[in-house]
Each structure stands twice: as structure tokens, then as C-alpha cells.
């Protein structure tokens, strides 16, 4: 069954498809940054889609993205005046983190990674990942449409068990109902949880929507970080997504030490589109990341708070 999020993203995808007969590739900022970005700023959510011959996609994927290279990412960050980056393994690679590592090595010491693992991933492999700059693992429940709280609780518990000895965080791409379902586990966990993309909230439902108060409470407790990233995944009010401002401000007010920012570049489209097979190329969303970054001073007018979000918090979380 299609939910509102699927309809929202499918509408955005249709708009992208109608705007260009050919695939446009990864977007680059069209709007200059309008504030002083602090030194060592970090984009905490990106992906690399390497050459498919060198980095083949997972057979069980639900979508197929266009390529997005380290060089294109470097151009993005040069335009945004952003030095550091966190590259996250997307669902299209399953548990193969090679494309993410490729992007990290291209960036050098200013990059960190978030991996996807399974029961077959050995401790020796995790040690090697740590040496390469990985600092967390991701549980992606949203792309596959997993809403069963028992599944979420089981996967989070298993991930924490694997990570507690090495101090990595557990990143989750999910929805507010799932966050409510695992709230007690996050509060008890010996490692931080990190919630992608505003915790998967839906902007039109308001601050009182079920689960948002739980996300705020977890951020306030210091046990969880939230990425104020991918605003277009929660809002239909392009291009500035003004309805996301109350949520960003509420999360920052709860605990500015547990908020990080990210682009979600190259903006992959994992939504269900009628007639599109998983192996068909899903055009990347064309998002103006300069305009997105310019929302940060709207959400956080204080420069010291912005430095926490862009520099201090990522440095603590990812070990820069």
C-alpha cells in the first residue's frame, strides 16, 4: 500500500522525469551559500554510486540509481565551502561497502564512513573498516518499507550488541512510529543512535504528530543524534521547505549538541513509481544544495549553534 511518503517522493520523481528527457546526473548547487560556513564543516549524509562494472549493485535492491562520483561530490562541497564528509552505504549495495570506501579514499582524511553489515561480517573485517575510517553501521528500514516494531527492535538490539565493544554508533533510516517502538532500547543502549532525515517525520502532520515528541526526548537525553537532512523527503514545499523550520528548531532547542546536518547528495530516488522496475534507472532528484544549506541560518540563527551542528558534533560523533 502506498503511504503519503511514497506519494510525495513519487510526485517529486515524476517532476524530475518530466523536467528532462535524459538523466541529468547528480545535481550541483545553483544558489551561492549566503552565510559564513565555519572551518571544518561536515556534510554528514552522502552516497557514492561508483562505476557499476567495478561496484555492482545488490541483486535484491528496490531501485537503481544513476552514477555519482567522488569528483562530483568534491565539486559539490567546494561550492558549499564544506571540508568534511560522511559517506553512507546505500541499500542498493546490500552489505558491500566497497563503493563507499572508494569515495572515502578519494577524499582522504576528511572523510568518514557508515557501513552496512550482516551476521557474516567478521570482527576482523570491522577492525579493517575502522582503520579505513568507518565509524558506524546503518540499519535501513525505510527503503524496504519495514514497519514491524518487532523487526526494528530485533535489528537494533543486534546492531548495538555488535557495536558496543568498539564504540561505533548505530544509524537508522526509519519512521517516527518505529522510533517510538525502540525508544526504550535507545535510552538503554551503550552506543549512540543516529536518526536519518529528521527521523522520517511528515511535515504536514504538525509538531504533535505521533512519535515526534519521542524523537525530541531522545535527542534531549543525549542518547540519540538526529540528522537535519533530506528536508525534501518530508516536505512538499519546494524549494525552501519552510514547513521544516519548526521541526528543525524544536530538535535544536532540545539539544544542540546532538544535531548534525547533511545534504543527502546525490539525492537518490528509492520511491515506488508505477511501471518502474528495480533494475530501471531511477533519475536522481535535482535538489539545489546551496539553497538547502541556506536554510540552516533560518533554523539556527546563532553562529555558535551552527558551528556545533556543522563542526563540533560531527567531530565528536565520527572521530575527526
> Domain-by-domain residue ranges, the chain?
4-15+38-318
- Which has the higher per-residue pLDDT, 110 or 271? 110
The pLDDT confidence band at residue 63, using thresholds 50, 70 and 90, is very high
Residue 2 has pLDDT above 90, yes or no: no
Q: What is the pLDDT of residue 145?
A: 85
How far is Cα 54 from Cα 280, in angstroms, rounded to an integer? 19
Q: Which residues are catalytic?
A: 264
Q: What is the pLDDT of residue 112?
A: 98
Q: What is the pLDDT of residue 12?
A: 53
Q: CB of 99 within 8 A of CB of 314?
A: no
Write out the three cell numbers for 232.
525534501
pLDDT in tens, 102-131: 999 999 999 999 999 999 999 999 999 999
pLDDT in tens, 64-79: 999 999 999 999 999 9
- Which has the higher per-residue pLDDT, 272 or 58? 58
Write out the three cell numbers for 42.
561536515
The pLDDT confidence band at residue 264, using thresholds 50, 70 and 90, is very high
CATH class of the domain defined by 4-15+38-318: alpha beta
Q: What is the pLDDT of residue 143?
A: 83
Q: What is the pLDDT of residue 89?
A: 97
| Cα-based distances in Å from 233 to 109, 134, 179, 263 | 30, 26, 17, 11
Amino acid at each position: 500500500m502506498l503511504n503519503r511518503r511514497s506519494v510525495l517522493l513519487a510526485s517529486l520523481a515524476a517532476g524530475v522525469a518530466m523536467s528532462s528527457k535524459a538523466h541529468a546526473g547528480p545535481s550541483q548547487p545553483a544558489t551561492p551559500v549566503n552565510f559564513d560556513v565555519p572551518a571544518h564543516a561536515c556534510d554528514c549524509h552522502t552516497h557514492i554510486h561508483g562505476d557499476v562494472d567495478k561496484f555492482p549493485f545488490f541483486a535484491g535492491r528496490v531501485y537503481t540509481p544513476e552514477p555519482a562520483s567522488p569528483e562530483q561530490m568534491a565539486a559539490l562541497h567546494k561550492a558549499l565551502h564544506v571540508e568534511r564528509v560522511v559517506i553512507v552505504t546505500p541499500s542498493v549495495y546490500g552489505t558491500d561497502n566497497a563503493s563507499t570506501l572508494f569515495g572515502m579514499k578519494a577524499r582522504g582524511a576528511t572523510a568518514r564512513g557508515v557501513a552496512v553489515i550482516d551476521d557474516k561480517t567478521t570482527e576482523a573485517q570491522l577492525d579493517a573498516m575502522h582503520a579505513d575510517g568507518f565509524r558506524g553501521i546503518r540499519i535501513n528500514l525505510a527503503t524496504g518499507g519495514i514497519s514491524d516494531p518487532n523487526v526494528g527492535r530485533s535489528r537494533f538490539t543486534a546492531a548495538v550488541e555488535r557495536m558496543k565493544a568498539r564504540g561505533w554508533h548505530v544509524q537508522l533510516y526509519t519512521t517516527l512510529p518505529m522510533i517510538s517502538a525502540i525508544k526504550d532500547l535507545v535510552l538503554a543502549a551503550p552506543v549512540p543512535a543516529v536518526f536519518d532525515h529528521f527521523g522520517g517525520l511528515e511535515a504536514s502532520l504538525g509538531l504533535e504528530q505521533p512519535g515526534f515528541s519521542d524523537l525530541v526526548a531522545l535527542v534531549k537525553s543525549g542518547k540519540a543524534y538526529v540528522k537535519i537532512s533530506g528536508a525534501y523527503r518530508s516536505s512538499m514545499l519546494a524549494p525552501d521547505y519552510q514547513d521544516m523550520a519548526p521541526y528543525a528548531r524544536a530538535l535544536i532547542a532540545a539539544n544542540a549538541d546532538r544535531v548534525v546536518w547533511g545534504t543527502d547528495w546525490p539525492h537518490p530516488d528509492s520511491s515506488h513509481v508505477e511501471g518502474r522496475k528495480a533494475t530501471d534507472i531511477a533519475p536522481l532528484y535535482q535538489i539545489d544544495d546551496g539553497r538547502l544549506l541556506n536554510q540552516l541560518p533560518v533554523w539556527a540563527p546563532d553562529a555558535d549553534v551552527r558551528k556545533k551542528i556543522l563542526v563540533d558534533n560531527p567531530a565528536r560523533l565520527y572521530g575527526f
